[in-house]
Chain A
Amino acid sequence: MQTLIALVDCNNFYVSCERVFRPDLIGKPVAVLSNNDGCVVSRSKEVKDLGIKMGVPVFQIQQLINQHQITLFSSNYTLYADMSSRVMSTLEAFAPSMEVYSIDEAFLDLTGVCHQDSIAYGDLIRKTVVRATGIPVCVGMGPTKTLAKLANFAAKKWCKTGGVLDLSDLVRREKLMRIVPVSEVWGIGSRTTLKLKQLGIHSVWDLATQSSQRIQKQFNIVVAKTVLELNGISCFQLEEISANKQQIVCSRSFGRRLTGYKDLFEAVAEFCSRAAEKLRKQHSVTGCMSIFIRTSPFNSQEPQYQRSATIKLVAATQDTRILITAADRLLKEIFKTGYGYQKCGVQLSQIHSESMPSQCDLFDFTDNDLPKDNRPLMTTIDQINRRFPKAISIAATGFEQSWKPKSERISPRYTTDWQDLVCVK
């Protein structure tokens, strides 16, 4: 039986989430900004048509914003996460197996599911999702993940497709591949694109007709697999169970420059809490923590400073208090007065499953002033915080949190807060 993989991708996901609750903005230019309201991270079609690129800083397009009355939103991740899980659980009904690839994309294995008319099935997926959630999606299909991705790209780009495209057909596949630049292929980054161009490989078709052995010699195994995938030979399997992260990073730019140790430490402590929460959610422990601090690289007038520091933990832990205590030591090592800090972050590595006994436990008499790893306490805190968000935090994270990023244009949490429900007349 011919394998059939679909990639379902939400259109302008963040903008679409905002529009579900603001139907007055349908057909009007809308953009969602990154953390700290710095750059454009999601654009409506109207905004794209104005030539505004992804990731452009807001101050560079201020004139266009005023001239075309573009509605801007700060990113409302609470809302987007909720809408994403609605989309994903709606999609689950359409395929026996599915891989949630990102907040707004999922691969579905449709092999043997829609026998003849894949387009009709794709159309049903689109209609069902937009009706249930209000989020418009496009469906790309093909015998491999890479072809499904490519089909999705084309379904989005050419509205003639009606938002659904199947690249199982060889003639249609070749036709499309000849007009799409190789940079649009899944996994082909800008550096590889550059190197491919030097070899005279410009279109997807140019790449698909290469010998995979030759490509493997000149590039690497991933690019070689991509060549095979473009020819309908599956190399990338659906990953149903999301692999636990081997690295957890929490970092953010601040709403204003921070100069004092106390403010900076509050932010670092908050990121430790977030990172530890993620760690516990995937039932892991960490053996190594790094923190970094830096001034703004965009302002060359200011004195520049950036440092990071790493500590190997005596015993692997998932306890917020241990991480915060360790972070305090690290920050004391690298903090210098006289700078306006613009960003900091925490990174956890050497991540293992919590069920694996920590080898360091035996020697745990050396340290230290660190509190003892207390898993039941942390579990309890997580449970309480799930029911009453942000109810309990470690005091070091501070109360004022003056470092908090700007999010002046954030929309209400329509789906997760009783106080924020949308009103109907």
Chain B
Amino acid sequence: MTLTAFTLLLPTPHPCVLAIPLFSGKVAAGFPSPADDYVEKTLDLNELLVQKPAATFFVRAQGESMLGVGIHPNDILVVDRSIEAVPGKIVICALNGELTVKRLTRDNEQWQLKAENPNYPDIVIHEELDMVIWGVVTNVIHAL
């Protein structure tokens, strides 16, 4: 008799850690799986998305200013606050007290916050502007 394979969704010791088994194959009753010795670990999405748990926050995107880099309304952004915001990074910043996501750029000593959508204007950073970098976006989680 052959048992239908079970896809094991193991509850993990820590909440919020979802481990997905690396292998799951058909098991012949009475015989150990030949793959058993090869199962080394489970894949954990946190490992992929979160380098520094203490500094990583999830935020939700609104609006379409960053459609060009694949950030859609309602997507979840993974933000690492410990990463340095250098030109070229997609950053979260507090602009006049409001959290916003844009690409940080510097051309000819001029810092700007650029939208990735031609319909949105670029924001030139000047002294009177109340702007604080909040974190650097590392990943987008987009549901299909």
Contacts and interface: CB of A to CB of B under 8 A. Distances in A.
A23 B54 contact: no
A134 B97 contact: no
Contact of B101 (A23, A90, A128, A424): A424
B60 to A, nearest CB: 4
Given A23-B98, A23-B134, A89-B53, A424 B81 contact: no
Contacts of A387: 11, 15
Interface in B65-98: 65, 76-77, 81-82, 92, 94, 97-98
Interface string B45-69: 0000000111101111111010000
A421 B65 contact: no
A418 B76 CA distance: 9
Given A23-B132, A421-B76, A423-B60, A86 B99 contact: no
A132 B101 CA distance: 18
By secondary structure, the A interface counts as: helix
A191 interface: no
B59 A131 contact: no
A26 B11 CA distance: 41
Contacts of A86: 53-55
A76 to B, nearest CB: 15
A24 B57 contact: no
A133 B81 contact: yes
Given A87-B54, A134-B81, A422-B59, 8 more contacts: A23-B134, A26-B132, A86-B54, A132-B54, A133-B54, A421-B60, A423-B61, A424-B77
8 contacts: A24-B97, A25-B97, A86-B55, A418-B76, A421-B58, A423-B99, A424-B60, A424-B101
Interface of A: 23-26, 85-87, 89-90, 128, 131-134, 386-387, 414-415, 418, 421-425
